Structure 1
Amino acid sequence: MTPAQIEFYKRLAHGLALQFGPNCEIVVHDLEAYDLDHSIVAIENGHISGRRLGDGPSHVVLEALNDDADKLRDRPPYLTKTEDGKLLKSSTIFIRDEAGWPCGILAINFDITLMTAFSNMLGSLIGTDGSVTEPEPITKNIGDLLDDLFRECEQAVGKPAALMTKEERVRAIGYLDERGAFLIRESSQKACEFFGISKYSFYSYLDEAKASD
């Protein structure tokens, strides 16, 4: 993002936070940041997720960096969840440059924890189903995000990494690649440790996963 864009979206984030109050977190990610570990260039009401200026990317940021720009679409409201259990109603809006390329993300996260608890209580009283869709986690730093992706790949394969066959490791590494895990610095080394394999095996499995796609 250009300095002018960052300045504008900082003011927009501040204005939105004033409009919707302390339960609404506004985050701006720079997809063109030199250091991806510090993609947040503006944040208001960061107490909601525990993040702050200079923190790293979320799942949606990695997916944006890893996907074809032509396929990227703004995400209408969906559910996310913070580490301390807050339930958020979130929206993701892509910021694009003059050529239409995604250069940033404006994320809106509204804390609906109390509203949901009240809705569930009301639902039980009137006999309706108060269940909610399983929310996506919001991570505060790169390490947490990578750990979360490692857990996801185990769930995708259906067994712990230590028990995976070679074919299952290839599938798991392919899943991580699709999710943008290897855009994170030193992620390949951490993946080697997670799967208990060498660097040579890791890149061989990664090439095999890409070829199968």
Structure 2
Amino acid sequence: MDSLHRYRPICDAIAALFQPYVEVVLHELATDKAVYIAGNFSKRVLGEPSLLHEVDFDSQNPVIGPYEKVNWDGRALKSITVVLRDEAGAPLGVMCINVNVSDFHAVMQTLSALVRVPEPHYRPDALFKEDWHERINEFIRQWTQGRNVTISSMTHADRKDLVTALADSGAFSGKNAAAYISRVLGMGRATVYKYLRNEK
């Protein structure tokens, strides 16, 4: 059992209370992996690298954010990260709470204060410098918006063009990036690799 198991009920409670708008992810520092996900809508999987050890992550900051992120399908997320510690105060991991705020942007103006990220938008370099998930999500959002398509409406030719564009941008250089891209695009990894080889 991972060192963060005691926090799982908290994750479940937060996700259940705000279902289906909230996802909570536990990242264990010792293994640098995601060990628990409640309300999963990001298509991340357990055991996936957290990448926190590859960035200038400062565990002395108890709370990081709130900050903006982009989900794999282009939805806007408002997120916050909390450092979790043991009884002696040593950092064990982080709890990332991601809130899907895209639906709220269309609601009454009186609710805008609830979902708006303070200006100027705060995107902590410590979490984004090497976050290839975020870079891939942002690339896909810009690519699909520029062609007025969605992931679900793309043709095979569109998907092949997108995979090629992702490869040209260096998106496949991250560890497990191919697996993540295949999940986001709803394709098997074999198909992704076939497109990379420029096969029909």
TM value normalised by structure 2: 0.51
User: What corresponds to 1:52 in structure 2?
Assistant: 45
User: What corresponds to 1:91 in structure 2?
Assistant: 80
User: What corresponds to 1:8 in structure 2?
Assistant: 6
Equivalent-residue separation in structure 2 for 1:32 and 1:4 (angstroms): 10
Q: Where in structure 2 are the equivalents of 1:187-198 lying within 5 Å?
A: none
User: What corresponds to 1:106 in structure 2?
Assistant: 95
Larger radius of gyration: 1
More helix by share: 1
Equivalent-residue separation in structure 2 for 1:9 and 1:105 (angstroms): 10
Equivalent-residue separation in structure 1 for 2:83 and 2:27 (angstroms): 10
Given that 1:9 and 1:42 are in contact with CA atoms closer than 8 Å, whether structure 2 keeps it comes out as: no
Question: Is 1:145 the equivalent of 2:145?
Answer: no
Matched-pair identity in %: 29
Q: Where in structure 2 are the equivalents of 1:155-166 lying within 5 Å?
A: none
Q: Which runs of 5+ in 1 are unaligned?
A: 124-130, 138-142, 150-183, 186-213
Q: Where in structure 2 are the equivalents of 1:1-213 lying within 5 Å?
A: 3=1, 5-33=3-31, 36=32, 39-47=33-41, 49-57=42-50, 61-62=52-53, 66-67=56-57, 69-70=59-60, 72-118=61-107, 145=132, 148=135
TM value normalised by structure 1: 0.48
Alignment root-mean-square deviation, CA: 3.6
The 3 A distance-change label for structure 1 pair 73 and 7 is closer
| Displaced runs of 4 or more, over 3 A | 65-70, 131-137, 146-149
Aligned AA for 1:32? A
Equivalent-residue separation in structure 2 for 1:103 and 1:20 (angstroms): 26
Residues 113-169 of structure 1: CA deviation (Å, up to 9, x unaligned): 1112446xx59xxxxxxx9765759xxxxx9728949xxxxxxxxxxxxxxxxxxxx
Shift of 1:101: 2.2
The 3 A distance-change label for structure 1 pair 148 and 8 is same
Equivalent-residue separation in structure 2 for 1:14 and 1:67 (angstroms): 25
Residues 46-99 of structure 1: CA deviation (Å, up to 9, x unaligned): 12x1212222215xx347x744544x2312422211232111111111001233
Equivalent-residue separation in structure 2 for 1:107 and 1:146 (angstroms): 14
Residues 187-210 of structure 1: CA deviation (Å, up to 9, x unaligned): xxxxxxxxxxxxxxxxxxxxxxxx
Q: How many correspondences in the alignment?
A: 127
Given that 2:2 and 2:35 are in contact with CA atoms closer than 8 Å, whether structure 1 keeps it comes out as: no
